[in-house]
Amino acid sequence: MAESLLEDEPMKIRELFGHFEEYGWETPSWEIAAKVGLPVSMVVRLDTNTSPFRPESALRDLGLALGGLEVNEYPDTSYLALREALSGYTGKGLERFVVTNGADEGLDIATKVFIDPGDEVVIPTPTYAMYGITSSIMGASVVSVPRRRDFGLDVEAILAAVTGKTKVIFLCNPNNPTGDCAPTEEVERLATESGVAVVIDEAYFEYCGKSTIDLSDRLENIIVCRTLSKAFSMAGVRIGYLVAGAETVSKLNAVRPPNSLSVVSLFLGKAALAHRDEMERNVRSTVEEREKLLHRLRGINGIEPYPSQTNFILFRVVDGDADALHARLMSKGLVLRNLSKRKGVENCLRTTVSTPEINERLAGELESALARRPER
């Protein structure tokens, strides 16, 4: 019997793992509950920017249709029915869409089309970590361009960072984790003057109503990436989509997996788009709560909240330690995103805008944690 080679030397893996910084997975709620000694029902996730509302109408439609779904068969690999629903939602033609398993698969597909080993991508930071991760996996070097002090894009610096090796500029708009939204004119300038693919992640656009999607009508290097995870309350369903010019879409579809969405996901996505009035109502409620929460946070000593055009609020801890505050809130069952060690948002935490009750609970816990001791 031949001896196993693994006994003599380890498996050979890609060299990128010597310097690769992987994505920081969110700790599951049950693990947090066990760590802080609370029942899991007391744990509130304010770190994932998901909607506090269930998509009741879509779930009701699924319940009625579930018995007739052909789960024993593969879905239509062209995803025609969902593309028709997306066309009705966006006003773009059927040939303009690539349906994906969440926005992350859309990012992955884009990097597969444009990036060869040794290429470069330009990313304004701080922003969503997956742009750099998916690009690094494809062998690209990531060129980070710091945002301005107000978190806006430094357009001149981004264009200056573009070289002959640059293949993609990634933009998150509105940006995660800072919550600001770049003007369409700045995005158009980056696309026209850089000459490279500009991938614009609009995961949160429903919360501000501002989109660059119309730029893709005339600029072939514009690719807009969207998701139903946030405003449509479908984070657990995993539906995303890319919008681009027809020629670009044909290239993106060439590397798209044929069956990455299930028949259940496709049904729920179509149903959610059919009930967009429910989404719009929930978005209005979230935006109202966002402004109330922002006003409330501004009245709490020790933190500095930033304006937001999304469903989350970033705030800096100016009197104290963000790590300690994060741990204190977690002990109370409130899980925020800890960004304290990330460049550009040092000592910052990010909270999802939730229901009035949970928002008030958060504000109360912040006031308690940051209360100054009376002078003696």
CATH number at residue 45: 3.90.1150.10
Is there a single domain that holds both residue 302 and residue 170? no
pLDDT in tens, 291-322: 999 999 999 999 999 999 999 999 999 989 99
Is there a single domain that holds both residue 223 and residue 349? no
pLDDT of residue 7: 63
pLDDT in tens, 242-259: 999 999 999 999 999 999
- Higher local confidence (pLDDT), 328 or 373: 328
Q: Where does a domain end: 252, 274, 296?
A: 274
- Please, which pLDDT band fits residue 4 given cuts at 50, 70 and 90? low
Residue 298 structure tokens: 């501004």
Is 14 a member of any domain? Answer: no
Own/partner contacts of 276-279, CB < 8 Å, gap of 24 or more, are 276/89, 278/55, 278/56, 278/57, 279/55, 279/206, 279/231, 279/232, 279/233
Q: What is the mean pLDDT of residues 130-152?
A: 96
> How many structural domains are present in the chain?
2
- Please, which pLDDT band fits residue 376 given cuts at 50, 70 and 90? very low
Q: Which domain holds residue 63?
A: 56-274
Q: What is the pTM of this model?
A: 0.94
pLDDT in tens, 64-118: 999 999 999 999 999 999 999 999 999 999 999 999 999 999 999 999 999 999 9
- Mean pLDDT value across the chain: 95
Is there a single domain that holds both residue 256 and residue 293? no
- Please, which pLDDT band fits residue 285 given cuts at 50, 70 and 90? very high
Is there a single domain that holds both residue 201 and residue 313? no
Q: Domain containing 193 — which CATH number?
A: 3.40.640.10
Residue 7 structure tokens: 């006994």
pLDDT of residue 5: 54
Residue 190 near residue 155, CB atoms below 8 Å: yes
Per-residue pLDDT at 373 exceeds 60: no
- Higher local confidence (pLDDT), 5 or 95: 95
Is 6 a member of any domain? Answer: no
* R_g of the chain, CA atoms, integer Å: 22
Is there a single domain that holds both residue 305 and residue 343? yes
Per-residue pLDDT at 34 exceeds 60: yes
Q: Where does a domain end: 250, 274, 298?
A: 274
